[in-house]
C-alpha cells in the first residue's frame, strides 16, 4: 500500500485552506464514494483503514496541533500516513523556506 500524503494550508486570497483532519476526511469520503460505485479494491480498503485508524488515534490531535503550530510560523507541512509491519506510521515533515525539510516522526 502506498502512503497517503496530506498537505494542510491556511486559506489565502487565491486558494482555500484545509487542516489535516479535513483533508483526511475528504480522502475518506473519496473511499466511500468508490465503495458506493462498486469499485471495491484492496487498495481502497487499505486506504480507508489507514485513514480511519489515523482519525481515531490518540496521536491524531497532537499531530494536528503540531502541524497548526508550524503552519502559523509560515512553514510548509506534510503528513505521510503509512503502515509499517501492520502498524500505522505517521510522519510529519516540516519545510522552511530555503532550507531542507526537517522530519518529525510519530508512532
What percent of the chain is predicted at pLDDT more than 70? 89
pLDDT of 106 above 60 = no
- Angle (deg, nearest 10), helices 59-72 and 20-36: 120
How far lies 8's CA from each of 91, 95, 104, in Å?
14, 13, 16
Q: What is the mean pLDDT of residues 17-21?
A: 90
The reported pLDDT for the residue numbered 78 is 96
Q: Are 73 and 61 in contact (CB under 8 A)?
A: no
Question: What distance lies between CA 53 and its chain's CA centroid?
Answer: 12
Model confidence pLDDT, tens digit, residues 31-70: 999 999 988 889 999 999 999 999 999 999 999 999 999 9
Q: So where are the chain's domains?
A: 4-106
Amino acid at each position: 500500500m502506498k502512503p497517503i500524503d496530506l498537505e494542510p494550508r491556511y486559506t489565502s486570497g487565491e486558494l482555500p485552506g484545509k487542516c489535516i483532519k479535513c483533508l483526511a476526511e475528504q480522502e475518506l469520503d473519496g473511499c466511500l464514494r468508490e465503495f458506493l460505485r462498486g469499485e471495491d479494491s484492496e487498495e481502497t480498503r487499505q486506504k480507508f483503514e489507514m485513514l480511519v485508524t489515523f482519525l481515531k488515534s490518540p496521536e491524531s490531535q497532537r499531530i494536528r496541533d503540531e502541524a497548526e503550530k508550524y503552519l502559523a510560523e509560515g512553514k510548509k507541512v506534510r503528513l505521510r500516513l503509512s503502515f509499517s509491519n501492520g502498524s500505522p506510521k505517521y510522519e510529519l515533515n516540516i519545510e522552511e523556506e530555503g532550507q531542507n525539510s526537517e522530519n518529525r516522526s510519530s508512532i
